Structure 1
Amino acid sequence: MTEKLGFSKIARVLSIPILAFVMWYILLPPINLHSLEFWIYLIINLLYGIIILITFNKKHYRFFIIPGILIILLIILKLSSATIFHSKRYANLINKENSTFEEDIKEASFQQVPTVDRDTAQRLGSRKMGEMLDLVSQYNVSNAYTQINFEDKPVRVTPLEYNGFLKWIGNKNEGIPNYIIVDMIDGKVELKKLKNNIKYSKSDKFSRDIYRYLRLNYPMDMFSRINFEIDEEGTPYWVAPVYQNTIGWFGGLDVKEVILTNATNGETSKYDIQDVPKWVDRIFDADEIIGQLNWNGGLQSGFFNSLFAQKGVLQTTEGYNYLAIDDDVYLYTGMTSVGADESNVGFVLVNLRTKDTKFYKMSSAEEFSAMESAEGAVQEKGYTSTFPILLNIDNKPTYFMSLKDEAGLVKMYALVDAQNYQQVSIGTTVSNVVSSHIGKDLANIQTEEDEEPTEFLNINGKIISIESVVIDGNTHYYFILDNSNNIFIANIRVSERLPFIKADDEVSIEYYEKNNFNQVRKLKVE
């Protein structure tokens, strides 16, 4: 009997560290006092430990004061980090720089317009996987589909994952042999075969689970979402942003470092944000950026203004999308007033690698209004619109979206003028819809663009004569200078001053010779 009681006591005591380890191994909280998860983990273990002590002596109930104090302290620290006390600091977590749309966003080539959204990419990836009979019984396609830039074009990448625990048991020694790349422009799907298979992933178990693997190697770092990306050579990596609280004890969560993990061999490296390799596209999480933008738009004039007077309060629109600009991925979303209107006061682009944020102030249609306008243009077909992406079409901000049937297949494309959403163009191909929208035949434009000028010339002079001619709906100006026998041709897009130039005006121009014509590239009135 005494031996049984002794064993019972030992078992109860040992259950305390066993529970603590099992909870930590399963829940993976960071051992960090700035982590709310760690506080909850700590309080639960203290409560359990005290309950065990009470089984030895009921007087030990007095130790309940310890978790009680921690709970009160937790509430105080949480409240002290609230936006009501730090509205300005929350507003400044992200800083918007005013900029000009035409200067920052290059005019889109119809051959580089991304037509594949996330839903379509998933369908294409699943279809490709279904063709691989040797893989489909052992692996599934992950739903990651991270948008990145790879080889100067936007793509979505996603790894395969084990089809359950038993399939992991049977294949864990070989690892995951493939990942999928979906070209967002032409929809081409590639099942990439790896030289070295993926051994660390979200579908792996125990110490090869990527979250557990990183927690074991970085027990005190706070990280949550981990992205799948590939480097320039196509090597798969896991990108884990490391967070810190920048306001109070628990507030102002923001990225301070990044951990890169080679998915094939588990090698890890930690970088400061400014030192992260250029191929990494997704450091900042889109939903967290949206939250910071809303703080920035709502708390500039204080917490109570955001609730009551709401003077100058802005908020993001309900959706967002991504743009590929200069080998970086940018988050795009509109900014609107807190009133129930259907227009934007502007929009923002946020670099998801650096968090550089630019604000473009312009009155434009709210994205869902543009979607309804596009759907209304083909209402007899019952197509639904994807969330738009913002493009520079003919030097104007323009929403581009795909129109899908009930089966989720893309049937048509639409362009909607962001500043006049009644102006809608529909086409069965990207080339058709862009040609319709700008009133030009893109085939002819492309032929002209293929012949790149090799030399640019400069000349100053006084205009002797100038005439305008409309060609294919585009105004061109022909003029002669007093110090040259050449005839110069300038498209209306060269300068907004062209309609007002007259004889005897002094001009400075940059031009190139093309097809026996002198095409003006830049013009300045002296």
Structure 2
Amino acid sequence: MKKQVDSAKIIALLSVPLVAFVLWYIFLPAINLHSFEFWIYMIVNFIYIISILSIFHKKNYKFFIIPIVLFVLLFSLEIVSATMFHSTKYANLIVKENGSFEEDIKEVSFEQVPTVDRDTAQRLGSRKMGEMLELVSQYNLSDAYTQINYNDKPVRVTPLEYNGFLKWMGNKKDGIPNYIVVDMIDGKVELKKLGNNIKYSKSDKFSRNIYRHLRQKYPRDMFFEINFEIDEEGTPYWVAPVYHSTIGFFGGFDVKEVILTNAINGKTTKYNIQDVPKWVDRIYNADEIIQQLNWNGGLQLGFLNSIFAQKGVLQTTEGYNYLAIDDDVYLYTGMTSVGADESNVGFVLVNLRTKETKFYKMSSAEEFSAMESAEGAVQEKGYKSTFPILLNIDNKPTYFMSLKDEAGLVKMYALVDAQNYQQVSIGTTVNNVVSAHIGKDITNMQSEEEIEPTEFFNINGKIVNIESVVIEGNTHYYFTLDNNYKNIFIANISVSEQLPFIKANDEVNIEYYEKNNLYQVTKLELK
């Protein structure tokens, strides 16, 4: 009987390191006193150890004071690291410089306007994946869709992942053979075939899981979200930002180093921020940047001011988007007063590789107001706007957005003047909406200079496509003819009362003039 008791004690004691290892292997906390998860891990282990010891002797229950003290200490360290005690330090985690919109943001090349948002990229990727019957039964598409600049183009990249544990067992020897690249300009989708397959990923198990692989190599480093990127040669990498606590004990976490892992062979390299290769685009997490911008806007005059007087307190708007500038990816968001009215006092651009931050002070429409304005221009269609991206058109900040139907398909595009969101241009293609927007400016300029057309042309033909566009409250119609595909004709509603009723295949006779490559209709008759 005594031997059985002794054996039970030995087994119980041996279970202590086993349980500690299993918990660490599953949850992967950094062995770092600045890691909140590590403290929880220690407290759980102490509770288990004391529970085992209490089986042998009830007096050991008194040691439960240890995890209680640790928990109280953890809570205390969390409190003393809070913003109320370090408002200035939190406000200075990110430093904004004043920028010049005209100088910093070049006028957009309309052939380079990104029209594909994340949701559309996912749909395009899923459609492409569905075409690959040999892959779709074994792999899924990751929902990563990281936006990067690849060969001077904005794209979203995402790897394949194993379709469950059994599919991993059957394919782990070969690895993951592909990743997907979605061109954000033209929507082209490429399923990239790798010469050597991906052997380290988020869907891999055991030591080939990328989080576990990094934790085993860097047990003390704190990293959270790991991004999938590709270099200029198309080699897949995992980008793991390493965080350090910079305020108190658990506060002001910021990226100080980066670990790059070759997704094919698992080779890792740690870099200081300033030494990271330039092809890496996503070092800083967007949500953390937004948090730091809110601290910067809210805590400049202290914690109490941010709660009560709120003098000079600014906050980011609810959404954000990305811009590709000079081969880097920038986070864009508006800044508004804490009263959360429908206007911005300016906007910020943050380089997600360097955290260089610039603030552009200018009164502009809040993004959701611009979205509502664009939706209102096509309210009879019921389209919904994507969150806008900011473009420089004629040295003016201009919101560009896609308009989608209920199925999530892009049907039209909109340009909204950021400083006067009542000025909306709508079109079925990027060229259409840009023509409408630029045509508006040209028309204004012509009327001011009283320039009259000198040569008119006549043409008969059948309508191929026709779409209506609202410009400064006036309806214009854009259409093409069967015998003149290359030219897009523009007719103001005042040209003919028949315009709202014209449809494809109707035959028309028109008079028009050409100015600055625009074909303005002056007369129209329906035959």
TM bucket (normalised to shorter chain) is 0.7 to 0.9
1:227 maps to what in 2?
227
- In structure 1, what is the equivalent of residue 242 of structure 2? 242
Structure 2 equivalent of residue 111 of structure 1: 111
SS of equivalent residue, structure 2 residue 223: coil
- Any idea what SS the aligned residue of 1:68 has? helix
Q: Relative to 1, partners in 2 of residues 1:298 and 1:155: Cα closer, same or farther, differing over 3 Å? A: same
Following superposition, the deviation at residue 70 of structure 1 comes to 1.3
Structure 2: gaps spanning 5 or more residues: 443-447, 454-527
The CA distance in 2 between the partners of 1:469 and 1:71, in whole Å, is 76
Deviation for aligned residue 1:211:
0.3
Counterpart for residue 279 of structure 2: 279
8 A Cα contact 1:440 1:472, kept in partner: no
Distance 2:273 2:172 in 1: 33
Is contact 1:435–1:441 with CA below 8 Å preserved after alignment?
Answer: no
Whole-Å Cα distance in 2 between the matches of residues 144 and 340 of structure 1? 31
| 1:141 and 1:159 in contact (8 A); partners too | yes
Q: What is the identity, as a one-letter code, of the residue corresponding to 2:15?
A: S
Q: 1:233-382 alignment to 2 at 5 Å?
A: 233-382=233-382
Q: How far 1:153 sits from its partner (Å)?
A: 0.6
Q: Deviations over 1:463-487 (max 9, x none)?
A: xxxxx966699xxxxxxxxxxxxxx
- Rounded to whole Å, the distance in 2 between the matches of 1:383 and 1:72 is 53
Structure 2 CA distance for partners of 1:220 and 1:149, relative to 1, 3 Å: same
Rate the CA distance shift 1:5–1:170 in 2: closer, same or farther, 3 A: same
Corresponding residue for 1:417?
Answer: 417
Deviation sequence 1:135-194 (CA, Å, 0-9, x none)? 000000000000000010100000000000000000000000000000000000000000
Amino acid at match of 1:413: Y
Deviations 1:284-336 (A, max 9, x none): 00000000000000000000000000000000000000000000000000000
**Higher mean C-alpha displacement, 433-442 vs 97-106:** 433-442
Corresponding residue number in structure 2 for 1:21:
21
Letter in 1 for 2:132: M
- Give the Å deviation of 1:439: 1.3
Q: Pick closer, same or farther for the CA change 1:441–1:73 going to 2, 3 Å.
A: closer
Structure 2 equivalent of residue 173 of structure 1 = 173
| Residue 8 of structure 1: aligned partner | 8
Distance 1:192 1:280 in 2: 19
TM-align CA RMSD: 1.4
Aligned to 2:190: 190
Partner of 2:436: 436
SS at the partner of 2:222?
coil
TM-score (norm 2): 0.84
| Whole-angstrom distance in 1 between the partners of 2:197 and 2:232 | 17
1:97 match = 97
Separation in 1 of the partners of 2:232 and 2:408? 32
1-side partners of 2:203 and 2:73: how far apart? 37
**Alpha-carbon distance in structure 2 between the residues aligned to 1:165 and 1:232:** 32
- Determine helix, strand or coil for the equivalent of 1:84: helix
- Within 2, Cα distance between the matches of 1:34 and 1:470? 70
Q: What is the aligned partner in structure 2 of residue 447 from structure 1?
A: none
Distance 1:7 1:396, change over 3 A: same
Distance in 2 between residues matched to 1:91 and 1:301, nearest whole Å: 9
Q: Per-residue deviation at 1:435? A: 1.1
Distance in 2 (CA, whole Å) between partners of 1:92 and 1:472 is 57
Work out the CA distance in 1 between the residues paired with 2:377 and 2:214.
51
* Alignment match, 2:463: none
- Give the 3-state SS of the residue equivalent to 2:421 in structure 1: coil
Provide the residue aligned with 2:484 in structure 1. none
Alignment coverage as a number of residue pairs: 448
Equivalent position amino acid for 1:137 in 2: S
> Normalising by structure 1, what TM-score?
0.84
Runs (4 or more) in structure 1 with deviation over 3 Å come to 468-473
Structure 2: how far apart are the matches of 1:396 and 1:403? 22
**Structure 1 unmatched runs, 5+:** 443-467, 474-526
Q: C-alpha distance in 1, partners of 2:3/2:16?
A: 21
Is the 1:439–1:472 contact (alpha carbons within 8 Å) kept by the matching residues of 2?
A: no
Which stretch of structure 1 is more off in the superposition, 14-23 or 367-376?
14-23
- Pairwise CA distance, 1:340: 3.3
The answer on whether the counterparts of 1:258 and 1:276 sit within 8 Å (CA) in structure 2 is: yes
One-letter identity of the residue aligned with 2:188: K
Cα 1:298–1:170 change in 2 (3 A) is: same
1:116: how far off?
0.1
Match of 2:486?
none
CA shift digits 1:247-292 (9 cap, x unpaired): 0000000000000000000000000000000000000000000000
Determine the C-alpha separation between the residues in 2 that align with 1:469 and 1:341: 38
Structure 1 pair 409–6 and aligned structure 2 pair: CA distance change class (3 A): same
2:44 corresponds to: 44
What per-residue deviation string (whole Å, max 9, x for no partner) do you get for residues 224-256 of structure 1? 000000001000000000000000000000000
- 1:2 Cα offset (Å): 2.5
In structure 1, how many angstroms separate the alpha carbons of the residues matched to 2:440 and 2:16? 75
Secondary structure at the aligned position of 2:43 is classed as: helix
Displacement of 1:338 after TM fit?
0.7
* Mapped partners of 1:196, 1:302: distance in 2: 54
AA aligned opposite 2:45: N
Query: 2:85 is paired with a residue of what secondary structure?
Result: coil
SS at match of 2:292: helix
Equivalent-residue separation in structure 2 for 1:289 and 1:411 (angstroms): 32
- Counterparts of 1:289 and 1:64, CA distance in 2: 40
| Counterparts in 2 of 1:472 and 1:364: CA distance versus 1, 3 Å | farther
Give the structure 2 partner of residue 150 of structure 1: 150
Q: Deviations over 1:479-512 (max 9, x none)?
A: xxxxxxxxxxxxxxxxxxxxxxxxxxxxxxxxxx
Deviations 1:14-47 (A, max 9, x none): 1111111111000000000000000000011001
CA distance in 1, matches of 2:449, 2:407: 48
Superposed, 1:58-77 pairs within 5 Å as 58-77=58-77
Q: Once the two structures are aligned, what percentage of the paired residues are identical?
A: 81
Q: Deviations over 1:25-73 (max 9, x none)?
A: 0000000000000000001100110111011011111211222221121
Structure 1 residue aligned with 2:474: none
1:120 matched residue in structure 2: 120
Partner amino acid, structure 2, of 1:282 = R
